[in-house]
Chains A and B, each alone.
Chain A
Amino acid sequence: MVNQTFTVIHPQGFHARPSKLFVEKANMFPCKVTLFKGEKKANGKSSLGLLTLGISAGDEIRLETDGEQEQQALQELGQMLTKIYEE
């Protein structure tokens, strides 16, 4: 299991489009993907989970991956948390 904390910068927060792209990417990895914001956590393969986490610009999100390809998943999904999306 590996984890790392990222700061989200997409100005509208991590909603419709970014969360969809994130989940699509997460589903490409066999490992478990979990996001933590403070006390709350969400399944990284569920867009509903991501939405209810309520991620805004400037939020620090701890990303945890567990299982096969966890290292690569952490790196690639971490990148997705820290970019700006075309809405």
Chain B
Amino acid sequence: MSHMLTGVPASPGIAIAKAFRLAPDESVPERKAVEDSAAEKKRFMKAVESAKTDIDQIRQQTLERIGPQKAEIFEAHLFLLDDPDLIDAAMEQIDSEGVNAEYALHEVASGIMEALRSMDNELLRERAADVKDITGRVISKLEGREHSALSELSEETILVAKDLTPSDTAQLNLEFVRGFVTEIGSRTSHSAIMARSLELAAVVGTGSEASDIRTGDIVILDANEGTVIVNPSNEQLEEYKARKQAYEDYKILMRSYVDQPSVTADGASVELASNIGGIDDLEKVLSNGADAIGLFRTEFLYMGRASFPSEEEQYSVYKHVLEKMNGKRVVIRTLDIGGDKELSYLQLPKEMNPFLGLRAIRLCLDREDLFRTQLRALLRASVHGKLAIMFPMIAVLNELKEAKRILAEERTRLDQEGIAVSDQLEVGIMIEIPAAALAADILAKEVDFFSIGTNDLIQYTMAADRMNESVAYLYQPHHPSILRLVQLVIQAAERHGKWAGMCGEMAGDSAAIPLLLGLGLHEFSMSASSILPARELVSRLSKQEWSVLAEKALGMSTQQEVLDFVNQQLRSEA
């Protein structure tokens, strides 16, 4: 009988193969009394040295097979085998308790793993796996056993394990291993990260259900969805074989767009940018070939801490992102806090209607001190790349003028201090309030660009809380009312020679992109994983054709009518 389990999709792909169950090593070394502690310590150090030799070999292999970044894990392992809190502490136990090395090391390592697992940081908790990996290896050496059973594989295999250590993962025989399933782990586990760089399908964190999978069971691993089907029916097998083929074809097609320019079928250039919420997102932005960063949310700098980030700290982060983007535009949004996003150290009164209250630019103009700190950090960072500063939640011209006045003051101050500021710096606003969209022609004179924030724009236009399930039906990005507002904004920008972009979810929506393109949108900022599909789509679209079609859509009565129209057009073009 087939059955299905679900887990976290840790590395995309679809695999179909026989399962190989990797037995966990949960054994606890026996405690033995040892009289000659000096000899025992010698035996211990010999095992440590021998483990180091092994790890260095794995490091070399990884360097060749996967690359320097992943090989660093094993540098870290070598480093741990020199760590006084582990090695010296184990030696002390051998001495003070008169016990065998296996037991002493196991005791010390358990204490450290316990401490790491209790940290409220997932990355640190994952480090416990490193400690387990290296101590397991040393203990195997002490006991004279082989460390890994994975070398025995001889046919296509999906590995099933409670957990995979980094060294298990790095040593996977890619000739045979097609993917893996683990009972524990998360997207940030080493094994998950390595699976992504090996492009190996992986589902992690299935829970104990996966422990029923036996070696030899046929397994379908759909790591795009996070599902595992054990002993599938023939129909399931056929279905997934087809899905696997389609996915692989699609992947090859997408990769071919990484270095391509973002150009329509009729030769119009657009900018496909990415939204980021922190430094960690940069890698994906670069690997997906983004043309720019269209929205850098700076809130992460302010959240999860006890006090405001200093100018210096912010400067370092902005500089880092600008340098990494290497001359591509980075739109950094000034602090968008207040309303539903609270800071414990910023004592704001509770509001009846937080989304309509003191938030974003309203708060920054009210708390000039913290606004000025951020602007100074941004201005200073501007010389390290192509920076655009964006003010959120502008409703009326005066707010924009006030924000610009403060920015100009800080700029003058920096000039006087002899600190350089780029003269290429762009200043723009988010359009997320209907009042700003309707008056975009008034605002356009004062900015270099607009970026339409659709999530809020839809919520404010429809007067529907986007967190409230009962009015979720009013979240209608394709409704003619929203499209008309978008058109107003783009036309106002065009008339004043400014550019218009969009940084809401709508910008990466394949059913919205054709319309937005037709309306003349220049920049589309989305999550990094949407960039390649968007680039492929854009390359098939004619901007001229869609400018006529978009005009038609604006005259329709419902969102459904617009969606049907767009999908029908896309199908007839394909």
Interface of A with B (CB < 8 Å)?
9, 11-13, 15-16, 20, 23, 43, 45-49, 51-52, 54, 56-58, 83-84, 86-87
Contacts and interface: CB of A to CB of B under 8 A. Distances in A.
B124 A43 contact: no
Given A12-B279, A43-B84, A87-B279, A48 B131 contact: yes
Contact of B305 (A15, A23, A56, A86): A56
A9 B84 contact: no
Interface stretch (B98-106, B111-119, B470-478, B564-572): B111-119
Given A51-B124, A84-B316, A58 B305 contact: yes
A52 B310 contact: no
Contact of B121 (A43, A46, A54): A54
A20 to B, nearest CB: 6
Given A46-B85, A57-B313, A58-B306, A16 B112 contact: no
Contacts of B112: 48, 52
A24 to B, nearest CB: 8
B309 to A, nearest CB: 7
B306 A48 contact: no
B146 interface: no
B115 A52 contact: yes
Given A11-B279, A58-B309, A87-B279, A16 B123 contact: yes
A6 to B, nearest CB: 13
A43 B310 CA distance: 28
B317 A51 contact: no
A47 B80 contact: yes
Contact of A15 (B123, B278, B304): B123
A45 to B, nearest CB: 6
B124 A11 contact: no
B191 to A, nearest CB: 16
A62 B307 CA distance: 18
B80 A48 contact: yes
A47 B82 CA distance: 10
A16 B76 contact: yes
Interface of B: 76, 79-80, 83-86, 112, 115-116, 119-121, 123-124, 127, 131, 278-280, 300-301, 304-307, 309-310, 312-313, 316-317, 320
A11 B317 contact: yes
B460 to A, nearest CB: 31
A9 B278 contact: no
A76 B307 CA distance: 26
A43 B119 CA distance: 18
A46 to B, nearest CB: 4
A84 B307 CA distance: 18
Contacts of B76: 16, 20, 47
Contact of B316 (A9, A15, A16, A87): A9
30 contacts: A9-B312, A9-B313, A9-B316, A11-B279, A11-B300, A12-B123, A12-B280, A13-B121, A15-B121, A15-B124, A16-B123, A23-B79, A46-B83, A46-B85, A48-B85, A48-B131, A49-B83, A49-B85, A51-B116, A51-B119, A52-B112, A52-B115, A52-B124, A54-B121, A56-B304, A56-B305, A57-B305, A83-B316, A84-B320, A87-B280
A83 B316 CA distance: 8
A15 to B, nearest CB: 6
A32 B94 CA distance: 24
A57 B302 CA distance: 10
A11 B302 CA distance: 10
Nearest to B127: A51
Contacts of A11: 278-279, 300-301, 313, 317
Contacts of A86: 320
A46 B89 CA distance: 11
A36 to B, nearest CB: 16
A65 B82 CA distance: 21
Contacts of B79: 20, 23, 47
Nearest to B108: A48
Contacts of B316: 9, 83-84
The 9 tightest CB contacts between A and B, nearest first, are A46-B85, A84-B316, A9-B313, A58-B305, A52-B115, A48-B85, A49-B85, A46-B84, A54-B119
Contacts of A83: 316
A10 to B, nearest CB: 8
B120 to A, nearest CB: 8
Given A11-B317, A47-B83, 15 more contacts: A9-B310, A9-B316, A11-B301, A15-B124, A48-B116, A48-B131, A52-B119, A54-B120, A56-B304, A57-B305, A57-B313, A58-B305, A58-B306, A84-B317, A86-B320
Nearest to A60: B306
